[in-house]
Amino acid sequence: MTFAPFNTVVPVIAAFVVFIVGYVALFVSLMICFFVCLVIAKGVYEGAKKVRTYAMRSAPANTFISSDVDTSAARKRPFLIPALR
């Protein structure tokens, strides 16, 4: 039995194995990136909810967050100021 100087089966199998391992590694790395991005997005979302909750609770206080906050003192004032005579 004589061996050929260049066997084509072994490189084809090696290339296939490298392709499969590379594809799996790419898929795993993309899934890790996806889940990390989901965790970051969830953190930003929950943080924004907490900031909004804090803003809504502190809105009736004496220190206003913005000038368009509806308070009971603002409801007592007339919307249109009558012209001076």
Residue with tokens 């066997």: 7
pTM: 0.51
CA distance 7 to 19: 19
Q: Which residues contact 49 (CB under 8 A, 6 or more apart)?
A: none
Domain ranges of the chain: 31-55
* pLDDT tens sequence across 27-79: 999 999 999 999 999 999 999 999 988 887 776 654 555 555 556 665 665 65
Contact predicate 56/69, CB 8 Å: no
CA distance 20 to 13: 11
What is the distance of C-alpha 35 from the center of its chain? 10
